[in-house]
Structure 1
Amino acid sequence: MKKLIALTLATTFATAAYAAPETYVLEQNHTKPRFEYSHMGYSTQQSRFDTVTGKIIIDRAAHTGSVDVTIDAKSVNTGSTPFNAHIQGEDFFNTEKYPTITYQSDKFKFDGDKLVSIEGNLTIKGVTKPVTLTVTALKCMPHPMMKKDACGADATAHIKRSDFNMGKYAPLVGDEVTLTIPVESIKQ
């Protein structure tokens, strides 16, 4: 009987440990959100943000989680210093008044054990809208160089600039924007 109780307790604690939420902090060098849009139909322009902070909490066993990410809007990188300054102006990001972009969520959607989407709120220029990120990849494993557990993911979403009071020159310059978010994070 004592062996049965010990086995039951060991199983319970092992299951509880497996099901515990895990917190991961974004790794700066490999988390660079990108956005792309049509430039007058000539080409698809791609830019990114170089400074992002945040954390992800995920309980893969319970199929729950949360995301809290802050992007430094002044870290926008178009590949052109004058254009970086241009899109930080009032007609676009208005970084003087709104220096950050945030995404917050506590709604993860799983298909079986696979994370497929995250429903949350994106705030740009003081305007908050619901945005669903489609998760196209998620991998968690020990990081070979950091010697800690790590998770990485790729996610995409589609938004309209005009929904965030950034619609100047639309539709000549595309209103539709594709967000691509590669994320790497280290377990705390």
Structure 2
Amino acid sequence: MKSLLIPGLALTLALGGAAQAQTPASHDPASVQAGTYAVDPGHTQVGWRVSHMGFSNYVGGFSDVSGNLVLDPKNPAAAKLSVKIPVASVTTTSAKLTGELKGDQWLDAGKFPDMTFVSTKVASAGKDKAKVTGDLTLHGVTKPVTLDVTFIGAGTNPLNKKYTIGFAATGTLKRSDYGVKTYLPLIGDDLHLAIEGAFERQD
């Protein structure tokens, strides 16, 4: 019995030590380290939602996001954000619909492979919130869009040891403004975006 208890105790102590070594992320925006950050594509999600004939809201997503963020918590208005999203990464729960969305009747990923967002203005909207306005390019058209952004947390990732910050953002655009008019008005014009972004410090 003793031989069984000792390895078990050792494992418990090891796991407990590892848990104690992990420092929770700070939720204080003032604690964020200034610097240049790159999108962590594995932990950044771009979701979208559109009305489906008024019966329900249909949701999907994009992945493989890339981009950069320059941020100084002492001067948040000077922050700069640039993001690129491959249109062909669009996903839904229907393989048939996913294929159609990539085609020329919808997003036309072959002709317009990327959706991009480049910030032009950052305005504080509270201690941990901001309104980030920028130029969003989709389907070959560029229009201004404002995102409501909330700071989530910052700290050293206990797994890869990289200093990481995270934000949640929401925004709405009219797909018809970007020339995507298939099935209007049966399929809603308002495209609602929900973004969970993680960024790793590069310098």
Give TM-score, length-normalised by structure 1.
Answer: 0.85
Q: Percent identity of the aligned residues?
A: 33
Change (3 A) 1:142 1:82: same
Letter matched to residue 58 of structure 1: L
Equivalent in the alignment of 1:15: none
Pick one of 164, 167, 176 that aligns with 1:150.
164
Aligned pair count?
171
Pick one of 147, 150, 160 that aligns with 2:174.
160
Pick one of 29, 33, 48 that aligns with 2:46.
33
Change (3 A) 1:184 1:157: same
Contact 2:155 2:163 in 1 (8 A): yes
Change (3 A) 1:92 1:120: same
Q: In 2, distance between residues paired with 1:137 and 1:114?
A: 5
Equivalent in the alignment of 1:23: 36
- SS in structure 1 at match of 2:153: strand
- SS in structure 1 at match of 2:98: helix
Instruction: State how 1:92-171 maps to structure 2 within 5 Å.
Output: 92-111=106-125, 113-171=127-185
Q: In 1, distance between residues paired with 2:145 and 2:46?
A: 15
- Structure 2: gaps spanning 5 or more residues: 1-30
Contact 2:112 2:139 in 1 (8 A): yes
Q: In 1, distance between residues paired with 2:92 and 2:174?
A: 19
Give TM-score, length-normalised by structure 2.
Answer: 0.79
- SS in structure 2 at match of 1:129: strand
Contact 2:49 2:191 in 1 (8 A): yes
By how many angstroms is 1:20 displaced? 8.2
State the Cα deviation string for residues 92-119 of structure 1 (Å, max 9, x = none). 1111100110000142212465341111
Which structure dedicates a bigger proportion of its chain to strand?
A: 1
Change (3 A) 1:77 1:132: same
By how many angstroms is 1:21 displaced? 4.3
Contact 2:170 2:192 in 1 (8 A): yes
Q: In 2, distance between residues paired with 1:59 and 1:108?
A: 12
Equivalent in the alignment of 1:4: none
Matched, 1:84 2:98: yes
Q: Which runs of 4+ in 1 moved over 4 A?
A: 18-21
- Structure 1: gaps spanning 5 or more residues: 1-17
Contact 1:60 1:113 in 2 (8 A): no
Q: In 2, distance between residues paired with 1:50 and 1:62?
A: 30
